[in-house]
Structure 1
């Protein structure tokens, strides 16, 4: 097809249309001399001798099909034909390279919408326009010269050779530009191909995860457990699977990859919880029994607080026991709350509301821990007061030893202690002396004495930790 002003050249399609014709031109350019010579030779053999003599000159001129213009004309024709063949080969290489590169560009745009990818598309479009221009020039050069004409003049053949050679050179230059552009696409194309390679396995993993979750849920239901919450979570993933099946062409490669990963992750979580559900139900049953037994034991222990308080009131000053007076009532109320929550947890277990049952059991445990601490506090108070009343010197010696040990550490390697260490240690000595003084008199406050000595030891312990930390950093 000849490109005319009324019919602009379109890349790729004209070449596909004209390539067979150009190939036929190449064959036709060579065929007449061989076939014509063979036909003329056969004619000479069959003709009578007189006619042979008359025909012989014509036979050596090509059988009368082409006038003889001399060696220079045929030489120019051959060179023009060679230029035409070279231009056609270059045009074909350029066309093939552009088609291959278009596939690469489409691969990138299917995956990447970054500024770099958009620039690559724009640059490829600009190269396409440049290819259109040189291809149009090449087609015009081909159509402008019929190298098979019998009366082709040497000057015309020479001009055709020049134009075709120029067209070939322009095609080759654009091919080089296209090759350089293709080389620069390496990172973008590699990234796109990597994502595309991940696509099919990711979608398959999501499908398999959904299938495994569905099978696990069926197995749980077969054992008599409802697992309605897990079924609802699995149902939410149904539309996501539909979108995965619709493919990346409709939803985009990055979005499909992200969706596949999310579906696989959520489905795997459902599968794992479904498989753990029988064990979870058994664990809830065990906790129900254990916490009920503990609540009953605390009810019994709470009844022992009143005798302990009675002895504290009888033997020690009010300061030693007045903060414990609320323990019996508080313990009874806390146990009552725990038993109420325990009943709610049992109901949630029976209805297979596993999350609710687990949360209620945690609340019961916290209530029982609080009760246990309060009940134990009364007995511990009486025990410690008995010990200090019997031998207060033991508590005094324990505290003085802690102070002296800290003072030795503060003086180690020094002539004078650091004021930051010496001051709190000196204050601790005075505080201990004041606590010992409270034991004098008719009704000593043993509880105040115990709390003061404990406070002194905590202060000393902080100073020791500070000294060791500072020396550790200096080393």
Structure 2
């Protein structure tokens, strides 16, 4: 359809009217004299071939109005289609969900339908020349009918397209939200990388190495390159995901770099503290032998034989801890921070274990002395724990639940056997203590179960 086809009929008619008298005047000049005499009266009397005020002019105007209305409907549909295409492109650039893919497929169906109705409109326009001088009423009526049908098809298609576009509202809003996040996310990632680089420079200016952090920062360079290539190549969602990941890693690097001076100071402090502790435990380990001698002299073998190797094990553990301390110091001097931290953790675990073993001998002697002097206190303490659990089991019941009564009855019997086992010349006081402790643990477990079942926590 040309631009002339869509212009108002009145404009084209005025152009044709302005050109008509000139052509008639030229024709009159060129005619032979006899014909000129015959033609001039008719020309000036309005006897031309075009009917300016014939009865078909009203139908011509109606047809032209139908054509103008169809042209307007065509323009509105084309505009709506262009707007919707932008929406679809926005959605598909961000969203790859089944719903988004289905929307894109439905849009392609609309494109085919729009092409069909547009072709129908163009065919109707091309089929009817409303500027013809010999256009009769029947032809004008057919033109008006065809153009009206074309307009109605265009309008129906636009209405359906509008409804389809309204249904895309949630998808479009989500896509626009993603797009709105894109540029800020990429910029935040870039700024985070810059901050991490500046933090590393500041640490190095203080004489501290940050080789590990620098290697990690260099590893982010390919990701920055992909961010710079943009979402057009890698997709919006993937670019946002990459920007968020770069941001997270860069911020972690910056934080570690900023904490590095403090970390170095903390390692120095722990080195001094653990050396002091190792020396203290080594001194205490030397006091275990006298304690073991006292245990051997006063109590049966069952009370102390598991402690026999404590002095030897303590010496070995302290020696291993001191070796680890030297290697941790070397790692600190070479500014291998992760290695130094790991070795200090090993030293601490070794010293904790050694300290417990060294303390066990003295604690054992103290407990055995207390129970051998007054066993009844241990017995009463244990019976009280069992009776307390029994009272709780009977609360609100006429008979206890077998799940609770059976372990408590077994605990009472176990306590009685432990007391009976003390008879004799060389009682196993350590066995007695371990049995009473086990009985109390059974009572505590039953209490926990009852409270959990009753909702009391």
Q: 1:466 to 1:130 in 2, by over 3 A?
A: closer
Compute the displacement of 1:264 (Å): 1.0
Compute the displacement of 1:95 (Å): 1.4
Alignment equivalent of 2:73, drawn from 66, 85, 90 = 90
Residue equivalent to 1:302: 285
Task: Indicate the SS of the match to 1:71.
Answer: coil
| Most deviating of 143-152 and 313-322 | 143-152
Compute the displacement of 1:60 (Å): 7.6
**Stretches of structure 2 lacking an aligned partner (at least 5 in a row):** 25-38
Compute the displacement of 1:366 (Å): 0.5
> Residues 1-20 of structure 1: matches in 2 within 5 Å?
18-19=2-3
Residue equivalent to 2:369: 386
Compute the displacement of 1:379 (Å): 0.7
Contact 1:320/1:447 (CA < 8 Å) preserved in 2?
Answer: yes
Distance 2:220 2:198 in 1: 15
Deviations 1:136-178 (A, max 9, x none): 2222332333322333333333332232222222222222222
Q: 1:221 to 1:154 in 2, by over 3 A?
A: same
Distance 1:179 1:327 in 2: 86
| Most deviating of 410-419 and 180-189 | 410-419
Deviations 1:390-440 (A, max 9, x none): 222322332333334444444445454444444443433333333333333
Alignment equivalent of 1:267, drawn from 232, 236, 250 = 250
Q: 1:103 to 1:306 in 2, by over 3 A?
A: same
Residue equivalent to 1:23: 7
Residue equivalent to 2:354: 371
Deviations 1:333-367 (A, max 9, x none): 00011111111111111121111111111111010
Alignment equivalent of 1:206, drawn from 182, 189, 194 = 189
Compute the displacement of 1:240 (Å): 1.0
Q: 1:182 to 1:56 in 2, by over 3 A?
A: farther
Distance 1:413 1:122 in 2: 69
Distance 1:297 1:406 in 2: 43
Alignment equivalent of 2:408, drawn from 425, 428, 449 = 425
The TM-score normalised by the length of structure 2 is 0.88
| Most deviating of 171-180 and 356-365 | 171-180
Distance 1:428 1:330 in 2: 36
Alignment equivalent of 1:224, drawn from 199, 204, 207 = 207
Corresponding pairs, count = 443
1:280 correspondence with 2:279? no
Residue equivalent to 1:345: 328
1:128 correspondence with 2:111? yes
Task: Indicate the SS of the match to 2:220.
Answer: helix
Distance 2:145 2:453 in 1: 90
Q: 1:424 to 1:91 in 2, by over 3 A?
A: closer
Distance 1:35 1:84 in 2: 24
The TM-score normalised by the length of structure 1 is 0.85
Distance 1:101 1:328 in 2: 84
Compute the displacement of 1:316 (Å): 1.8
1:463 correspondence with 2:451? no
Contact 1:26/1:85 (CA < 8 Å) preserved in 2?
Answer: no
Contact 1:341/1:360 (CA < 8 Å) preserved in 2?
Answer: yes
Distance 1:408 1:342 in 2: 54
| Most deviating of 338-347 and 398-407 | 398-407
Q: 1:444 to 1:125 in 2, by over 3 A?
A: closer
Alignment equivalent of 1:439, drawn from 422, 441, 451 = 422
Alignment equivalent of 1:239, drawn from 211, 215, 222 = 222
> Residues 29-428 of structure 1: matches in 2 within 5 Å?
29-31=13-15, 61=46, 67-68=50-51, 70-428=53-411
Distance 1:255 1:123 in 2: 25
Residue equivalent to 2:36: none
Distance 2:344 2:358 in 1: 21
Deviations 1:67-123 (A, max 9, x none): 236431222222222222112111111111111111112112212223322322222
Distance 2:45 2:235 in 1: 70
- Superposed CA RMSD in Å reads 2.9
Compute the displacement of 1:36 (Å): 7.8
